[in-house]
């Protein structure tokens, strides 16, 4: 495996956290707790430090292992069962991610185009990037990261004059239980998927830094807080909950020095970057876990990638669900799949690794005592 540098790794973190937020999470949270949405995102970001810390701990403790090989090393045969569960959960997550990507592009840009054509247009570059390896995914992520930062600066500058703070009042109008529930939704959809970075061992990242990772985590989460806060401040809560994609409708208000006006189509393309990068990473994870679990030859790479992409393409296009039904599924049953795949299984691995430490210490003590 070719190495990627820490900046490329951080760029992937940025996109994973952002993926699905404007297309799914924001609208769901706004609908449920209205102007308190930004508060739930802050709480969700703090909760998200738990899975973030688990992933970082395992990476630091086993720098040359990814979670697939680590499960096999710690659990032997049971590790393969855990990996199979991860594979099935990951496949479910990526199929739904692809559905969101295609549906979003179809609704906002290509409403007269067949979803099958849009699907082919996206799945081909995903398969190509994966076939070239994680270093290519890293380079693409870094390039899109710079574009994303530039676009976000344009959005902030363009909306400054439209902000009305009074639109977020009254604060804490909803119950703490409702706010916490939305925080759990945010953490599940936008934070726990950092789990898929576990496919990249620490030793494969040049100048790996947990502090830089945490910094990018904080910046990305604050950016999402800013998006939710700005949306409500500009539109007001009634108008914000009326739109299917409020974070993109607000881009129609972007005006930069009177020169750039109504450039929402260009700016909203940035949201596609996040879904594309997230999907590419998950498919890469599934490809690696398939090869490791079934001990396939690396020469079968292209066949495994093609097979996975075909499954995603076909199933996502026969999922005959509306956007409203999709939201209920993605923030309901799918959320359980995400938490089980991206949090419960890593926790099992974490406890096993801690138990191994205890066993090693006990053996060392007994040896010293006998001596």
Instruction: Check residue 365 and give its pLDDT.
Output: 38
Domain ranges for the chain: 4-370
Rounded to whole angstroms, what are the CA distances from 138 to 73, 122, 192, 293? Answer: 27, 18, 20, 24
Alpha carbon of residue 139 to chain centroid: 18
Structure tokens at 276: 């594309």
pLDDT (0 to 100) of residue 367:
44
- Residue 369 reports pLDDT greater than 50: no
- Tokens 């830094």 locate to 209
Q: pTM for this one?
A: 0.89
Q: How far is CA 349 from CA 3, 41, 338, in A?
A: 25, 28, 16
Residue 366 clears pLDDT 50, i.e. is over it: no
CA 48 → CA 84, 191, 217, 228, 254, distances in Å? 25, 6, 10, 18, 31
Among candidate residues 56, 81, 53, 57, the one with its CA nearest the CA of residue 68: 81
CATH second-level architecture of 4-370? Up-down Bundle (1.20)
Listed in order, strand segments (DSSP E) in 96-182 are: none
Nearest residue to 186 via CA among 330, 29, 344, 55: 29
How much is the pLDDT for 221? 95
pLDDT in tens, 63-97: 999 999 999 999 888 989 999 999 999 999 999 99
């Amino acid at each position: 495996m070719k190495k990627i540098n820490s900046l490329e790794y951080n760029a992937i973190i940025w996109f994973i956290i952002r993926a699905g937020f404007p297309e799914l999470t924001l609208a769901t949270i706004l609908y449920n707790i209205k102007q308190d949405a930004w508060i739930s995102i802050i709480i969700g970001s703090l909760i998200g430090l738990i899975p973030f810390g688990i992933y970082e701990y395992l990476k630091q403790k086993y720098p040359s292992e990814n979670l697939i090989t680590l499960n096999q090393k710690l659990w032997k045969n049971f590790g393969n069962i855990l990996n199979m569960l991860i594979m099935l959960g990951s496949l479910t997550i990526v199929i739904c991610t692809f559905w969101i990507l295609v549906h979003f592009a179809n609704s906002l840009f290509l409403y007269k185009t067949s979803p099958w054509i849009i699907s082919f247009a996206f799945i081909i570059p995903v398969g190509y990037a994966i076939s070239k390896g994680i270093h290519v995914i890293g380079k693409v992520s870094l390039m899109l990261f710079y574009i994303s930062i530039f676009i976000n600066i344009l959005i902030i500058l363009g909306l400054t004059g439209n902000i009305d703070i009074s639109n977020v009042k009254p604060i804490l109008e909803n119950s703490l239980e409702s706010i916490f529930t939305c925080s759990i939704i945010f953490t599940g959809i936008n934070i726990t998927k950092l789990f898929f970075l576990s496919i990249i061992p620490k030793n494969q990242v040049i100048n790996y830094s947990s502090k830089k990772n945490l910094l990018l985590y904080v910046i990305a989460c604050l950016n999402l807080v800013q998006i939710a806060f700005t949306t409500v401040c500009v539109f007001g809560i009634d108008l914000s909950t009326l739109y299917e994609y409020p974070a993109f409708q607000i881009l129609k208000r972007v005006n930069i020095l009177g020169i750039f006006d109504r450039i929402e189509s260009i700016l909203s393309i940035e949201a596609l970057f996040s879904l594309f990068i997230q999907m590419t990473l998950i498919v890469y994870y599934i490809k690696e876990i398939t090869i490791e679990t079934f001990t396939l030859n690396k020469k079968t790479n292209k066949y495994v990638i093609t097979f996975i992409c075909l499954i995603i393409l076909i199933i996502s296009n026969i999922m005959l669900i509306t956007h409203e039904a999709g939201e209920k599924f993605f923030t309901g049953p799918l959320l359980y799949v995400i938490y089980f795949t991206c949090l419960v299984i890593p926790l099992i691995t974490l406890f096993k690794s801690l138990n191994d430490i205890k066993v090693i210490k006990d053996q060392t003590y007994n040896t010293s005592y006998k001596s």
